[in-house]
Amino acid sequence: MAAPPPRPATADTSATLAALGFAAVAALAALLFFFHLGAYGLWEPDESRYAEIAREMLTSRNFIVPHLDYVPYVEKPPLLYWLTTLAMGLGGVNEFAARFINALAAFAGVALTFEFARRVFDLRRAILAGAVLATSALYAVMAQVLTTDMLLTSLTTAAFFALFLDWRVGGHWRWWGYLAMALAVLTKGPVGAALPIAVGTIFLWREGAIRGAWRRFSLIPGSLLIALVAGPWFLAMILREPGYFAFYFIGEHFRRFFQSGYSHDEPIYYFLPVLFGGLIPWTFTLPFISWWSLKPDPARRYCLIAASVVFVVFSLAQAKLAPYILPAFPPLAVVIADGLVSTIERGDGRRFAWVGLLFGCAAAAALAVALTAARFRAPYPMMVRPALYAASVAFAAGAIACAVAFRLRRGALGLGAIVVTAAAAIVVIGYGRLMAEPMRSYAALARAINQREPNARLACFPRYIQSLPFYCRRRVIVIDGWTELTFGAEHSADARDYFFIRRADLIRLWNDPRPTVFVVDRRVLPLLRRIFGPWREIAADPTKVAIMRTPAAPLAGARRPAPTGAKSAPAAASLAPSAPAP
């Protein structure tokens, strides 16, 4: 007797399955993004910088002009600072609150990716797309690093997907897209609107629907919405801060994009290895997807255009950093999930057993680095050696599980094995961060200074340490190494009391009877000993030492007179060669 045909799923059943699928993806993302979020100190320089800006905004109640070390800092718009200030106001000034908005933005990106894939494909692809994004190496790592890139990624993802849904089903999706663009502009400037508009324009041209698109998508009212939401803050900054327009719009955009050597200059192919490594472990699956057998689909085409635009735009820009490519990850996660499920549905899933071999290679590589950690010049392999051993075990177990599952044609089980292996590796990386903290964060040093000298002035030489004002709750005197504080120093009324470039100023501060803690590079200690004479050590870490003048010590300069008069060359050029901060 033939079995009865399966009954079609009811609306209630479909809704329940969708809710369960989202719950699984949400639990995975929450585990990876919020696990021990506040367990380690803020890393230099970005995390400490953005956290301190939010802390100063919270204490000063000045929500218009961002300040860093109590001088204007105008390199980025304020949305991340506003949200982080809110998190600190609710949860206290600590590492968890500082990183919370960033992790929440990453979580939102996964949720948006899941919902988009569910609407344009099906629930199976939606669950996998969310899992792919949550377990992609660069995305998961940056979910716990306080920068503007993850918030920008979440907002551009919302804009990308809203514009496509408006094209496909109509409704009011475009207005949500324009609102997301406005917030993206308030996060990182005009690029927040330029990327979605470029993607939508190229897609409509490719589909032969470009004519009349400005009217169908309400482009003029949408542009006005973006201007009304984002424009007032920029206008207020132009009116309140002399030189802001030239510094931000000319310097931070045109010069950063076109001028070689202006900032973070990298070759045009820089993002190729970043994209390959950032999508691990899912890059292991790409060669085995039956790409040429996939049926044409406008949603997949749109996602490929979105990822390509992000890749090309940031590759053409002169300034490049690895997190810049993050807005390409959500659409790529949708494409990868569609390719994986389609290949398995065609009956070609056994080819993914080769992913097990690649996981085995990863396990061998992690084990080899752990066994030879002492031979590396860099200290990191030795510091994270236990994490490397754990990662090798995770990859080895994943290799076996993937190979067996796919060989037995258990595609869902095999994909689950990849997700679990990636999640385990990401958790291990999280513990590796704790082990590497002494080389990447000055939190312990700053806390020790604050505990032992809670009322002393703080001075940095030869570069500004971003963590000091955050953990010590005090302004820092900067002797050379102004870096991103240059604009603020040049536009601050009391800059002459806090920003110096001359050796004479350094000696004058040392001789000042008021207690002052100098936080200096270890590499300049021999030179400073010749200038300062005896001192007492307050605290130290592998790269920095905090020192104070011994009360009975002779004045600095008594044995070797300091040069007088202004010097155009910074003190670091004459006292010690500069080196990049860790």
pLDDT tens track for 64-117:
999 999 999 999 999 999 999 999 999 999 999 999 999 999 999 999 999 999
Q: Is the Cβ–Cβ distance between 178 and 228 less than 8 Å?
A: no
Say if residue 437's pLDDT is above 50: yes
* Secondary structure letter of residue 247 according to DSSP: I
User: In the prediction, which pLDDT does 518 show?
Assistant: 95
Residue 315 and residue 310: Cα distance in Å, rounded? 8
pLDDT band at 555 (very low <50, low <70, confident <90, very high): confident
Say if residue 200's pLDDT is above 50: yes
- Cis peptide before 66, with omega less than 30 degrees from 0? no
The domain limits of the chain are 24-34+41-346, 347-440, 443-575
Read off the pLDDT of each residue in 383-409 and give the average, rounded to a whole number: 95
pLDDT band at 369 (very low <50, low <70, confident <90, very high): very high
Read off the pLDDT of each residue in 226-231 and give the average, rounded to a whole number: 97
CA gyration radius for the chain? 27
Residue 530 and residue 518: Cα distance in Å, rounded? 16
User: In the prediction, which pLDDT does 393 show?
Assistant: 95
Summarised one tens digit per residue, pLDDT across range 494-551 is 888 899 888 888 889 999 889 999 999 999 999 898 888 889 999 999 899 999 988 7
Question: Tokens in use for 460?
Answer: 């940095």
Say if residue 301's pLDDT is above 80: yes
pTM (2 decimals)? 0.91
541-553 in b/e form (b: 16+ CB < 10 A) is bebbbbbbbeeee
- Residues 158, 146, 460, 487, Cα dihedral to 10°: 0
Which residues does 488 contact at the CB level (< 8 Å), separation at least 6? 67, 68, 69, 71, 72, 73, 74, 495
Read off the pLDDT of each residue in 254-272 and give the average, rounded to a whole number: 71
Residue 393 and residue 421: Cα distance in Å, rounded? 10
Q: Is the Cβ–Cβ distance between 64 and 240 less than 8 Å?
A: yes
Residue 212 and residue 217: Cα distance in Å, rounded? 9
User: In the prediction, which pLDDT does 501 show?
Assistant: 85
pLDDT band at 489 (very low <50, low <70, confident <90, very high): confident
Read off the pLDDT of each residue in 133-139 and give the average, rounded to a whole number: 97
Say if residue 2's pLDDT is above 70: no
Q: How many CA atoms lie within 13 A of 231 on its CB side?
A: 6
Residue 41 and residue 49: Cα distance in Å, rounded? 13
Read off the pLDDT of each residue in 250-279 and give the average, rounded to a whole number: 77
Say if residue 560's pLDDT is above 50: no
Look at 575 and 323; give whichever has higher pLDDT.
Answer: 323
Q: What are phi and psi of 520, to 5 degrees?
A: -130, 160
**Does an H or E element contain 223, and which?**
helix 219-240
Q: Is the Cβ–Cβ distance between 281 and 359 less than 8 Å?
A: yes
Where would I find the H helices in 317-377? 329-345, 354-371
User: In the prediction, which pLDDT does 318 show?
Assistant: 80
Q: How many CA atoms lie within 13 A of 241 on its CB side?
A: 27
Work out the burial of residue 176: count CB atoms within 10 Å of its CB; fewer than 13 is exposed, 13-18 middle, 19 or more buried: middle
Work out the burial of residue 404: count CB atoms within 10 Å of its CB; fewer than 13 is exposed, 13-18 middle, 19 or more buried: middle
Mean pLDDT of the chain: 89
**H helix and E strand count, the chain:** 26, 8
Pairing assessment for the beta strands 516-521 and 544-549 based on DSSP bridges: antiparallel
Number of neighbours of residue 152 by Cβ within 10 angstroms: 26
8-17, 53-62, 191-200: least confident range: 8-17
Which residues does 109 contact at the CB level (< 8 Å), separation at least 6? 133, 139, 150, 153, 154, 157, 329, 330
**Does an H or E element contain 477, and which?**
strand 476-479
| Single-letter amino acid, residue 527 | L
